[in-house]
Amino acid sequence: MKALWQRRVLILLIAFTHPALCQDMRENVGRSLFADQKANRLGDAVTILVVETSSASNDAKTAASRTTDISLSGSGKVSAKPLPDVGINVGTGNEFKGEGATSARGTVRAKISARVDSVLANGNLLIKGNRTIIVNGEEQIISITGIVRPSDIQADNSVLSFNISDATIVFEGSGIVSRAQGPGWITKLLHWLF
């Protein structure tokens, strides 16, 4: 009987002196049956939907003109002999017209996965991701970095590119098509000289 009481007292002591191991709900939100599977921790993946459209135009026109005319004429006679007629005309003209226009338009659409590189103190996520696609010797590299608010991540764990702050989106390509689109070395040399 005494041993039974000792065991009960020992169990009660352990139960009250040992800290309770409770579950942190924020830690397991990604594994919950009732919560969306959203990126919220270091290393989590998030899908970026790149939908970027930019357009800019600028027109400038300048016109200036200046005209100057000076005219002098004279005639005379000495006795019966006429003097030769003297005439001077001086005219200057200056005219300038300048026009310039520039226009730029770009549209980018892509879908790329990125990972959470770090979680900032305010809870925002720093994301980084890149994708390399090689088709028939043509290499295309898409890179993206930026900061995402967890509230901007949609239920399907995707975020639109215009919701990424400090976003850097880079599209680069290399290969035979890219080389064919650029000027040759003779053209580059002539542009450098002239």
Write the pLDDT tens digit of every residue in 92-140.
777 777 787 888 787 878 889 999 999 999 989 999 999 888 888 788 8
Amino acid found at 140: Q
- Confidence band, pLDDT 50/70/90 cuts, at residue 46: very high
Helix or strand run (H / E) with residue 100: strand 86-119
pLDDT at 158 over 60: yes
The answer to whether 62 and 97 have CB atoms below 8 angstroms apart is: yes
Q: Which of residues 79 and 171 earns the better pLDDT score? A: 171
pTM flag (> 0.75): no
Candidate ranges 85-89, 134-138, 190-194; pick with highest mean pLDDT? 134-138
**What b/e sequence results for 64-88 when a residue is b if at least 16 CB atoms lie within 10 Å of its CB, and e otherwise?**
eeeeeeeeeeeeeeeeeeeeeeeee
